[in-house]
């Protein structure tokens, strides 16, 4: 009877170790994926901010909204909004 108990305990320990290992791997993968998404989002936000700053400078120099839109990729509505903020 004690042999069965010892075997069951050993199996339980090994399964617990495997589950913990799998959970840690999944957690690390999730963290990595989250970091990558965060970096990507930050880069996109930075580019958008740079385009807005460029649009503001072009507005200040009197460029046409259509030209600014083509140059920056911003919509005319976004540029109009920036113009109101100048």
Tell me the whole-structure pTM to 2 decimals. Answer: 0.65
Tally of CB atoms within 10 A around 79: 23
Is residue 64 helix, strand or coil? coil
Section 22-44 average pLDDT: 93
Answer yes or no: is pLDDT of 1 > 80.
Answer: no
Q: CB neighbours (10 Å) of residue 81?
A: 13
In this predicted model, what pLDDT tens digit does every residue of 9-29 receive, in sequence order?
888 888 889 989 999 999 999
């Amino acid at each position: 009877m004690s042999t069965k108990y010892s075997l069951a305990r050993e199996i339980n320990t090994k399964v617990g170790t495997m589950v913990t290992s799998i959970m840690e791997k999944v957690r690390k993968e999730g963290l990595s994926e989250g970091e990558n998404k965060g970096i990507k989002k930050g880069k996109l936000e930075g580019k958008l901010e740079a385009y807005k700053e460029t649009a503001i400078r072009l507005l200040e120099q009197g460029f046409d909204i259509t030209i600014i839109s083509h140059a920056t990729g911003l919509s005319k509505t976004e540029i109009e909004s920036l113009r109101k903020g100048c």
